[in-house]
Amino acid sequence: MHERPQGDVRRDATNLEIGHSAMRWNGDHLEIDIEERDTRLFNPIHRRVAGKVRVHPEALNAASFALDPAENHIWHCMAPRARIEVEMEEPGLSWSGTGYFDHNRGSEPLESGFNTWHWSRAHLKEGAVVCYEGERGDGSLFASAIRFDRHAEASHVELPAVAPLPKSKWQVDRRTRSEIGVAEVRRTWEDTPFYARSELSSKLFGEEVETVQESLDMRRFGSPVVQFMLPFRMPRKPA
């Protein structure tokens, strides 16, 4: 999924630049500068998308978690809860709200390590909870629930019951976890042949919560048809 050539990527201890977009750690918060073009299908006019996002963590978590026994894939939730500020220049929009900040890193492509995964995050009255599960490339299964307290300290907790979800419009299998084994899809934000990201209503640890959920099918991602389609949504162009 590299839409930029290697020469357009620059980084150091506090900065990451990809093309004309960049992010930097500025004291106690993350600043993201966006300078891109949209990639709407069947529209030859790629409009400018530009603005700034600021992510203010409520607390920082130092612990990373391996997603496979060989530790080829590492997940790190830096800020389970955060305050965000969005100021877009093009289009002219701005808003603020609550957010979350994590990243994955690895020594091999995702499609080599995983067939599928399902991830979800919900803010609680204090802290947050993240559920992670899926099938690795060797067919083994993994599943965990991690709860973060108000200081972003992490602890493994018992997995809530499986809550099946309807397939996305592209027929991507989705699932999540809920205390009552039931969850409702409120909105689907991203719906692609191999990935879906949605907003759910569910119940966790005695609380009615709004959950952000994603499902990823790396077998579909690696298929020749999807690989042929990707450049039309993520053009490989110099900055």
pLDDT of residue 195: 96
The total of other beta-carbon atoms located within 10 Å of residue 148's CB is 25
pLDDT beyond 90 at 148: yes
Residue ranges of alpha helices (H) inside the chain are 110-113, 218-221, 224-233
pLDDT of residue 235: 60
Fill in the DSSP letter of residue 8.
G
Q: How far apart are CA 200 and CA 121, in angstroms?
A: 10
pLDDT digits (tens, 9 = 90+) for 85-132: 999 999 999 999 999 999 999 999 999 999 999 999 999 999 999 999
**Inter-CA distances, 221 with 1, 110, 115, 193, Å:** 10, 10, 9, 8
Which of 55, 53, 63 lies closest to 27 in space, CA to CA? 55
Phi, psi of 135, rounded to the nearest 5 degrees: -120, 125
pLDDT digits (tens, 9 = 90+) for 22-65: 999 998 999 999 998 887 666 667 789 999 999 999 999 999 99
> What are the domain boundaries of the chain?
6-233
Q: How far apart are CA 233 and CA 193, in angstroms?
A: 12
Cis, peptide link before residue 91, omega less than 30° from 0: yes
Phi, psi of 232, rounded to the nearest 5 degrees: -75, -25
The total of other beta-carbon atoms located within 10 Å of residue 198's CB is 23
pLDDT of residue 7: 86
pLDDT digits (tens, 9 = 90+) for 196-220: 999 999 999 999 999 999 999 999 9
